[in-house]
Structure 1
Amino acid sequence: MTFARRLRIISLLSFTLLVIVTALLAWSFRELSVAERNHVMADQIQSTVFHRVTMRDEYFLFGLERAREQWFALNDAATHLLAQGLPQADDHSATQILERSRLYLADSVQISKRLVEQMRRVPVADPAVAHHDEFASRLYSQIMLRDSALQREAVLLQKVARDRFERAGERMIYLTLLLVILMALGTIINAAFLTGVLRRRMATIKRDADVIAAGDLSRGIEVEGNDELAELARVFNSVTHKIRDYTQALHDSEKRYRMQLQELANIYTHTPVGLFVVDRELRYLRLNEHLAQLNGKSICEHVGRRIDEVLPPGVAARIEELWRPVLERGECVLNVEVQGELDPTDPVLHHWLASYQPLISEAGEVSGVMGVVLDITERKRTEEMLAGVRQHLEEEVQQRTAKLQLINEHLTQEIEIRKKVEVELLRQQQKLQDMALDLAMAEERERDRIASELHDQVGQRLILAKIKLDALASSVPDGECESEAEVVGGLVQQTIQDIRSLTFQLRPPLLASAGLEAALRWLGEELSADFGLQTEFRDDGKDKTLPYEIRSTVFQAVRELMLNVVKHAGTQRCRVALSRSEDDFLVIGVEDDGVGLGREHDAAESRSGSGGFGLANVRQKIQHLGGSFSVTNKAAGGTVATIKVPLRA
């Protein structure tokens, strides 16, 4: 038998043994994973069982409603864990223990409900002495018996899972040792047939393998040649490098998560807007300090209480009416204004700008409401003050007009005086028109300021909060605060999306950075995605520079016209043309091939939707800018809406 043939036979036998041991290792690794999963499940069951006993005693001894809610919540959690553990248990003894535990827990829950009913039925002045009732004490004794048996089963289940995990670990160690022994044996056999060069290569491989086995993953096995041994060394080096990179990344992630945990708590506590979550019974589940300050009560006075127990009846009734579509149909209520008095002794009317979104459970059902509240009382007072100033100016103009008319009746012959009076009247009218334009510009600047604060402050902090919450969720032990972290993460993510949507509605970024043309093209893409409206744009390419406030007003006007096409035109296509006229006017035409103006026209003229613009408001604001607005029917069907705005500063 030649040397080459013997080498091939030995290699084939070695490979066969390696495959067998590798298969055994894979099987053992699977058993180890199953045992570890069962061990984790047993720890969770034992922790939940012992925790619910604590809540049971706290409720029975002190009559705390919070303890009762946590007790029954832990009952549900334990039931869920037992039901989840039954399909995973592939061991007969573990299955029997889980079945007995489930029966003990069911009996305990049933008796617990009777105990709660009995304690509520017994009229006592102090809830802490309700357990002195004889029947309640007997029920409590029965619960203690069931819970004691349940604790014993939980301890036994943990012992069974731990024993299985240890056996699987020992089996893994033995198989690993067997693999090492077989590899060493194969190395010795092959070394007997190799030349001095092969002996040197094997010595190198063994030396590097010993270093890696000792825990030094920074080195690899030196590879020479292209045979199977060299390929195995390359694969081993690749796996070693991946394990090293993954371990380093895991350590870095854990460090980042721990650093971000405290920052997340600080952001949620000190964010400048009110955040809250309520359940379907309108009870506060969680809120931040800012909302508690807005409502004039502490966080402890909110949690677990209904909204009508915290807020005045008038404000609570208004908010419950706004929450109804959110709870019943899962709709979002955005940018709604709520007003009311928080303290009857201090009759100060407060104003809030609120947005409410549904809290969706894993089953896809609405389980509550989450919201964002912004105090706009100072802004409303400013608006009222501006309205008062405007009313005062209008009254002043009316008084001066009356005086001018009286002077005109008595001094018809004094032409020069009448001309001066007419000039003064025109000046006052121009002043009033300028003030109306300033008010419109102030509204756009306020919209821009609110959007900037939401994006730069609230949005950025919530994004950072979401990142740190994810870090926290992976850093805490399994099962600890997992559901709370997921709920808070969902809330923060939903709030980020709502703030982004609100920011884009208040101030499209393209309007400030890229100009009116780019913003209108973005608007066309948004309406196409939301309503299927296909928009064709035409631009003459000439310079059409406008101040930002005027750009924003024109943008909102064009947006209203395009939304009217979606709502009333009966077509899914429209054309938008931008041009600069010879007399330095920006001309924008919005054209469709729909049903044209009809009975819907009068309603559209007075309708104020889609951000506060109706056709009447469009005409008024464009005229305040010194421009013109018209809507006409086309002969072939459809409408053409034309906006003309002067390009001068």
Structure 2
Amino acid sequence: MTFARRLKIISLLSFTLLVIVAALLAWSSRELAVAERNHVVADQIQSTVFHRATMRDEYFSFGLERAREQWFALNEVATRLLAQGLPQVEDDAAKQILERSRLDLAESVQISKRLVEQVRRIPVADPAHHDEFASRLYSQIMLKDSALQQEAVNLQELARDRFHRASDRMIYLTLLLVVLMALVTILNSAFLNGVLRRRMAAIKRGADVVASGDLTHGIEVEGDDELSQLARLFNGVTQKMGDYTQALHASEQRYRMQLQELANIYTHTPVGLFVVDRDLRYLRLNEHLARLNGKSICEHVGRRIDEVLPPGVAAQIRELWRPVLERGECVLNVEVQGRVDPTDPVLHHWLASYQPLISEGGEVTGLMGVVLDITQRKQTEEMLAGVRQHLEEEVQQRTAKLQLINEHLTQEIEIRKKVEVELLAQQQKLQDMALDLAMAEERERDRIASELHDQVGQRLILAKIKLDALASTVPAAECEAEAEAVGALVQQTIQDIRSLTFQLRPPLLASAGLEAALRWLGEEFSADFGLDTEFIDDGQEKTLPYEIRSTLFQAVRELMLNVIKHAGTLRCRVELSRCDGVLVISVEDDGVGYGAEQDASVTRSGGFGLVNVRQKIQHLGGSFTVTNKGAGGTVATIRVPLGS
């Protein structure tokens, strides 16, 4: 436990004890104050009662009106004091005394009033001599007042006893507080002194061990107080000092190795390194720089650059060093050129960087430089510049040729774009013409159906009527069989023309819509060919112009005929649905499946053909697909956009 926590607990206990004793002192002080007030009130009651008896005797003896007024005034004061009672009464004896005193005073006041009336009614010459009734009243008053005075004395004694008890209690509690505080202080000091002495002894022993240079041993730690935490902290610091000492030795070894490496780098690096002071005197340089300048290291150290380098090169370098020495700026990657020897025909180039040397006071004491000979690189760059110039000329020539070729290609592309535009326009015209042809074909179908119904059908009906009339005129048994055969043939021809007319232009297609016309077509194929057709409709509205409905009707008719001719089955399913503004019609069978040769054979035979179905649907802006089912059979699907 930490000292702070111990002190906190001791402080809390001391404070709690102090609060308890202070509460007891406050309660005792309040009791003392109440007892003192009770004592004062009892004294006032006793003084008032005795003073009242004096005024009573003076009035009865001398008959003075002043004595009577004071007597009755004191009656009122005594009545008020007894009515108020003591400020705080806890014992029953005081309460009984107050109650008896109030009763005695009330009876005394009543008798006093009767005495005053008797004295006023029967006046006498000598105020000291009264009649017998007044004397008896006075005797009764004296008895009551005597009892009242005795009760007042008893009340005063009770109040005095309570005041003495409260005073004694106050003194005892104060002594108890002083004793307890002194005892707590002594015990706390003794406890803390013992703990501190043990902790400090352990810390001193550990510190002596560490001071002797042994960082492997620390301070013996016990407990969890501040000194124990300080000892642990000291042990941690000691351990870290040991670690730091080992790390310092290792760092010293690494530093020496790095110094050796730097010395090797400085000596054997392939670039020139040097250091000069503010007077431009060489302080240090490596062998590479000495070879670049054409002199030995001894010929450099302690000499100015004017004494070592040619005047032109030295002048360039002084200008470059000026901002470094004056303002402490870094000059990086600058090019210096010149001849080390005036007789040397080669112009040398050097790439140099200079950095200031700053003292601890922030002043520039010199500079350090790095020099790299780039003469060969410059020569190579000049050679490459010539080669680059030659390449640029060739590139320009080839670019000119490519521009000519590009212009020809651009012209050809423009011509092809124009041809593509014309082809697209012709294709659009062909599509429009194909749609017009499809519509014309539908109109021609309507015309043929009308002529078949209105002309050929009517004529055949008329021929049938005339044939029946002729048969009725022919004698019986003469040509009867031929007449009936010709009549049956005419009647069958009328039925075939009527069926063909309905298939070319079904009336339901114009009046009831595509769904009803397809249902009728299924019934006709069932009657004519025995095709069992299952018709499914989703019930949604499918608004289409009559020409498109007629084209779709003929397309579905062709697909159902293909099922009869090629599927090898007499069962099919026709489904109409609307999905996202598109009419979807599917004709499905469970036959032998679909092959490309079927489409070709149908087309060659001169029928409607799947190719014609696809072209007509595409002319309507839709799509037509035929797929084989996995389990056998074919699904032909037509998709046509619905009108808004």
TM range (shorter): 0.3 to 0.5
Greater Cα radius of gyration, structure 1 or 2: 2
